[in-house]
Amino acid sequence: MKKKFDLNPIIKTLQKVLPQAQKSIALHEPQFDGKEWAYVKKCLDSGWVSSVGKYVSLFEKQLAEYTGIKHVIAVVNGTAALHICLQLAGVRAGDEVLMPTLTFVATANAVSYCGAVPHFADSDEKTLGLDPLKLGDYLKDITELRTEGCFNKKSGRRIKAVVPMHTFGHPVDMEPLLDVCQKFGLVLIEDAAESMGSLYKGYHTGSWGRLSVLSFNGNKIITTGGGGAILTNDTSLPALAKHLTTQAKLPHPWAFNHDLVGYNYRMPNINAALGCAQLEKLPEYIRQKRALALRYQEAFTGIEGVKIFKEADFARSNYWLNVLLLDKEYSCERNKLLELTNNQGIMTRPSWTLMHKLIMYEDCPRMSLACAEDLERRLINIPSSAVLTDLNIVNSTFTEERQG
Amino acid sequence: MKKKFDLNPIIKTLQKVLPQAQKSIALHEPQFDGKEWAYVKKCLDSGWVSSVGKYVSLFEKQLAEYTGIKHVIAVVNGTAALHICLQLAGVRAGDEVLMPTLTFVATANAVSYCGAVPHFADSDEKTLGLDPLKLGDYLKDITELRTEGCFNKKSGRRIKAVVPMHTFGHPVDMEPLLDVCQKFGLVLIEDAAESMGSLYKGYHTGSWGRLSVLSFNGNKIITTGGGGAILTNDTSLPALAKHLTTQAKLPHPWAFNHDLVGYNYRMPNINAALGCAQLEKLPEYIRQKRALALRYQEAFTGIEGVKIFKEADFARSNYWLNVLLLDKEYSCERNKLLELTNNQGIMTRPSWTLMHKLIMYEDCPRMSLACAEDLERRLINIPSSAVLTDLNIVNSTFTEERQG
């Protein structure tokens, strides 16, 4: 029989951590308290607002420096970045691509754009990301290695790549996943859309894949309005990545020739100008967001039935979105908690609907997804903006003064 | 035998029309002399820079008012707009889509994204766009009408749609094209990427198609950095267009559910803020660009071997890019003229390489393309920025004062 469960302590703890002054608290909102305006104005004054311009190359250079990944190509968004990475990885129509079922739909959609088929893998409760050990065991059973690659014995299709996603900023356990990729001849593409600034064993997420992807959508830790990037240490790839993202136009002072079906995927200069300013603030945002996560962890210690998800030992997470996990026996309370919090102006949300449950992907191949399904039932994202740390301090001081 | 041809009068005439003061003159550059800064700053201050925000809906509303087309969906660029329009038109993998061979590669690429096949049509020398009469005659020969639609007897594929493109801003002759579409059951999608502000028989280009496309790339008459729009008067389409461009997420206060393979194609708010300011200046830019076109036409009157392309009687063109046409017997001088002008800092360019000559489209079906091939040999785009009109006036005055 289900235990009776009181949600009030959870609400009260959230209220304790979050600023009282605001009417409603977003899940994640950006801050523009750096040189955003100065750079955007400079960009407008230069007349170069489109995909050719100095901020695009500057942003790429600065992203390379920050992440330690050699080559960066700035694009219109993370979805576009994934699409190009899959093509560069050699994913072709009819291939399968492994990915977690617990991800945002863009990961699966990008595979569809290539005419390929997503193949869903389970999650690791230590990281919320793809479980490399379970994946290795599964592939041992279902695949056959041929000279043309790794084949799914059941579907007959080639499995070409794996796309781990660093969920809510928490790095996947990459070393064992690399082993799996090597063993089965799979190309590793890291979907680091949510993990800008997150490290795995001291290196930036995205450093292990042959290719990786960042996103700078408005809800991310830093934003360019809409934007994304392709990252790679493989020097054979950036020229083709740039070519594919610029309609495959061959360089010439005036002639228009194209040698491939390309895309209009380059990031406009005005968005890159915003990105350069945001990137300068990233270390501060990470500090603020990690402080907020710690605050949540402390505040929820001893609260019955829930815990705040903590980064693994090998990880330094950007804590993009904080995760509150209900104990298994209380998962039935998830929707009630979502309703209560949202009604009170504290924006929360559940995990994305798992990919294998979406109508367009329900027939795709998959392993047992028990951990992901368990996480989906129990997981709630809670407000995580960097600004909440400082607002809260301001707010506490203010309250003390009024009380004093 | 070829006549000896002196290019100097052409260069001198260009120099007469264009400002002398500048070191080099772009083919087309944007102006930010309106409220661009004010709106972009307001957008940054609001914190809403991404695809949800008031400038996106305002820009859409103002575009609808300006064009007289009921529904507008702002997207990341014209290519994305074309991709979605083709899907909304029911273009499926294996279909054929008619389009001019004289177009920018995005028109053909968008068809490829759908797994469909471009089918190239010839140009009309009155408009530089698709020739509707020639197309009608051709379709009579090669198609068979079945209950499932119009089929290409040779390839066996269904021909689903026609995508005329308003070349360099000059409207295609739409009424006879509409007749062809009705006769053969083809969906009409107008690629108005270049013709923002251009009218056909008093109505904005894009008003005839079931769907149409605008572009606000940095080289267009107005720009959002990168951007485009889907336009339609068909009230059954905008909801699905929005849905497809926002990853097909079903509306819900917190849950993430998706029911189709969607795209990350919405225009970010910061780009829309720029668009709102640019749109306010459009009438002025059109006036300036039409004045420049007239100036070219007057200056080149009587110059041997060339003429400036003039809008058809039924058109009011935005004269996005002015066109200099060499007489047929002098087409062999095109490359020399391109070299001379570009070397002197007057940026010019030839027509795009015709689509059927690109390696990825050379095997696509096509009709006789004699007119397009003739135009390609003779056509040169010359500097056309709106600002050139006023600069020139300033410059002339300045010269007169110095001389006076």
Asked if A222 has any chain B CB less than 8 Å from its own CB, the reply is no
DSSP strand pairing (B96-100 vs B158-162): parallel
The secondary element (H helix, E strand) that includes residue B230 is strand B228-232
Measured in residues, chain A has a length of 404
Here the tokens at position B236 are 């059954």
Of A174, A166, A36, the closest CA to residue B44 belongs to A36
pLDDT tens digit at each of 404 positions of chain B: 455 789 999 999 999 999 876 679 999 999 999 999 999 999 999 888 887 889 999 999 999 999 999 999 999 999 999 999 999 999 999 999 999 999 999 999 999 999 999 999 999 999 999 999 999 999 999 999 999 999 999 999 999 999 999 999 999 999 999 999 999 999 999 999 999 999 999 999 999 999 999 999 999 999 999 999 999 999 999 999 999 999 999 999 889 999 999 999 999 999 999 999 999 999 999 999 999 999 999 999 999 999 999 999 999 999 999 999 999 999 999 999 999 999 999 999 999 999 999 999 999 999 999 999 999 999 999 999 999 986 554 443 333 333 32
- Cα dihedral across residues B76, A85, A361, A93: positive or negative: positive
**Within the 231-290 window of chain A, which residues sit less than 8 Å (CB to CB) from chain B?**
247-249, 253-264, 266-271, 274
- A51 chain-B contacts, CB cut-off 8 A: 217-218, 226
Predicted confidence band of residue A400 (pLDDT cuts 50, 70, 90): very low
How many of the other CB atoms lie within 10 Å of CB of A330?
Answer: 21
- A32 chain-B contacts, CB cut-off 8 A: 44-45, 47, 49
> Residue B225 and residue A260: Cβ atoms within 8 Å?
no
Residue type, position B128, single letter: L
> Residue A49 and residue B218: Cβ atoms within 8 Å?
yes
Residue type, position B30, single letter: P
Q: What are phi and psi of A86, to 5 degrees?
A: -60, -40
Contact status, residue B292 vs residue B389, Cβ threshold 8 Å: yes
Contact status, residue B186 vs residue B160, Cβ threshold 8 Å: yes
Distance CA B173, CA A403 (A): 76
Asked if A349 has any chain B CB less than 8 Å from its own CB, the reply is yes
**pLDDT above 80: residue A1:** no
Task: Write the residue in A44, A50, A255 that is nearest to B226 by C-beta.
Answer: A50
DSSP assignment of A250-290, as one string?
A: PP-SS---B-S---B-BPPHHHHHHHHHHHHHHHHHHHHHH
C-alpha A230: how far from chain center: 13
Task: Write the residue in B79, B113, B264 that is nearest to A106 by C-beta.
Answer: B264
pLDDT for the residue numbered B403 = 33
Q: Please, is B374 exposed, middle or buried when counting C-beta atoms within 10 Å of its C-beta (0-12, 13-18, 19+)?
A: middle
Task: Write the residue in B49, B112, B259 that is nearest to A359 by C-beta.
Answer: B259
**A261-310 pLDDT per residue, tens:** 999 999 999 999 999 999 999 999 999 999 999 999 999 999 999 999 99
**A72-88 pLDDT per residue, tens:** 999 999 999 999 999 99
Asked if B30 has any chain A CB less than 8 Å from its own CB, the reply is yes
C-alpha A268: how far from chain center: 22
Q: Which residues of B26-61 are buried (b: 16+ CB within 10 A; e: fewer)?
A: bbbbbbbebbbbebbbebbeebbbbbebebbebbbe
What distances in angstroms separate CA A27 from CA A226, A386, B16, one per listed residue?
Answer: 18, 11, 60
Nearest chain A residue (CA) to B103: A256
Q: Please, is A385 exposed, middle or buried when counting C-beta atoms within 10 Å of its C-beta (0-12, 13-18, 19+)?
A: buried
Distance CA A55, CA A66 (A): 16
> Residue A254 and residue B349: Cβ atoms within 8 Å?
yes
Residue type, position A203, single letter: Y
Of A306, A349, A340, the closest CA to residue A325 belongs to A306
Contacts of B255 (CB under 8 A, 6+ apart): A349, A350, A353
Show the DSSP H helices in A72-124 as ranges: 78-88, 105-113
Predicted confidence band of residue A393 (pLDDT cuts 50, 70, 90): very low
Half-sphere exposure of B8 (CA within 13 A, CB side): 2
Task: Write the residue in A41, A109, A350 that is nearest to B37 by C-beta.
Answer: A41
What distances in angstroms separate CA B251 from CA A29, A229, B193, B246, one per listed residue?
Answer: 20, 28, 30, 11
- B219 chain-A contacts, CB cut-off 8 A: 50
The secondary element (H helix, E strand) that includes residue B226 is none
> Residue B353 and residue A256: Cβ atoms within 8 Å?
yes
Answer whether 0.90 is exceeded by the pTM: yes
Distance CA B243, CA A170 (A): 30
**A143-152 pLDDT per residue, tens:** 999 999 999 9
C-alpha B69: how far from chain center: 17
Asked if B212 has any chain A CB less than 8 Å from its own CB, the reply is no
Integer Rg of chain B from CA:
22
Query: Chain A closest CA to B250's CA: distance in Å?
Result: 11
Asked if A45 has any chain B CB less than 8 Å from its own CB, the reply is yes
> Residue B77 and residue A80: Cβ atoms within 8 Å?
no
The DSSP code for B326 is E
C-alpha A262: how far from chain center: 25
> Residue A360 and residue B260: Cβ atoms within 8 Å?
yes
Tracing tokens 């609808």 back to the chain, one arrives at B64
The DSSP code for A165 is B
**A204-225 pLDDT per residue, tens:** 999 999 999 999 999 999 999 9
Distance CA A122, CA A6 (A): 31
Distance CA B404, CA B398 (A): 10
Contact status, residue B244 vs residue A201, Cβ threshold 8 Å: no
Task: Write the residue in B37, B44, B338 that is nearest to A254 by C-beta.
Answer: B338
Task: Write the residue in A112, A113, A254 that is nearest to B350 by C-beta.
Answer: A254
pLDDT for the residue numbered B395 = 42
Predicted confidence band of residue A391 (pLDDT cuts 50, 70, 90): low
**A139-176 pLDDT per residue, tens:** 999 999 999 999 999 999 999 999 999 999 999 999 99
Distance linking the first and last C-alpha atoms of chain A: 49
The DSSP code for B320 is S
Here the tokens at position A334 are 């998830």
**A312-345 pLDDT per residue, tens:** 999 999 999 999 999 999 999 999 999 999 999 9
Contact status, residue A170 vs residue A309, Cβ threshold 8 Å: yes
Of B264, B311, B323, B263, the closest CA to residue B102 belongs to B323
Integer Rg of chain A from CA:
22
C-alpha B64: how far from chain center: 18
Domains, chain B, ranges and CATH? Answer: 8-31+281-403 (3.90.1150.10), 36-278 (3.40.640.10)
Query: Chain B closest CA to A88's CA: distance in Å?
Result: 16
Distance CA A23, CA A159 (A): 49
Instruction: List the beta bridge partners of residue B211.
Output: B189
**pLDDT above 60: residue A311:** yes
Q: Please, is A59 exposed, middle or buried when counting C-beta atoms within 10 Å of its C-beta (0-12, 13-18, 19+)?
A: buried
What distances in angstroms separate CA B167 from CA A242, A250, A403, B311, one per listed residue?
Answer: 27, 22, 70, 11
What distances in angstroms separate CA B302 from CA A125, B10, B235, B289, B306, one per listed residue?
Answer: 79, 11, 51, 22, 9
> Residue A256 and residue B349: Cβ atoms within 8 Å?
yes
Here the tokens at position B281 are 């200046």
pLDDT for the residue numbered A50 = 81
The DSSP code for A383 is -
Here the tokens at position A396 are 């506490």
> Residue B226 and residue A51: Cβ atoms within 8 Å?
yes
pLDDT for the residue numbered A334 = 97
* Strand, coil or helix: B128: coil
ipTM of the complex: 0.93
Nearest chain B residue (CA) to A44: B32
Give the percent of chain A with pLDDT over 70.
95
Half-sphere exposure of B45 (CA within 13 A, CB side): 6
Of B368, B392, B388, the closest CA to residue B131 belongs to B368
Asked if A398 has any chain B CB less than 8 Å from its own CB, the reply is no
What distances in angstroms separate CA A333 from CA A322, A325, A350, B365, one per listed residue?
Answer: 19, 11, 12, 60
What distances in angstroms separate CA A89 from CA A109, A146, B132, one per listed residue?
Answer: 16, 18, 43
Of A77, A390, A256, the closest CA to residue B27 belongs to A256
pLDDT for the residue numbered B214 = 98
Asked if A140 has any chain B CB less than 8 Å from its own CB, the reply is no
Here the tokens at position B392 are 């020139």
Tracing tokens 């058809």 back to the chain, one arrives at B312
Task: Write the residue in A219, A253, A359 that is nearest to B342 by C-beta.
Answer: A253
- A274 chain-B contacts, CB cut-off 8 A: 44, 49, 270
Nearest chain B residue (CA) to A270: B225
**A216-258 pLDDT per residue, tens:** 999 999 999 999 999 999 999 999 999 999 999 999 988 999 9
Here the tokens at position B89 are 């038109």
The DSSP code for A33 is -
Distance CA B174, CA B166 (A): 10
DSSP strand pairing (B96-100 vs B306-308): unpaired
> Residue A261 and residue B350: Cβ atoms within 8 Å?
no
**Within the 145-184 window of chain B, which residues sit less than 8 Å (CB to CB) from chain A?**
none
| Share in percent of chain B as helix, strand, coil (round to 5) | 40, 20, 40
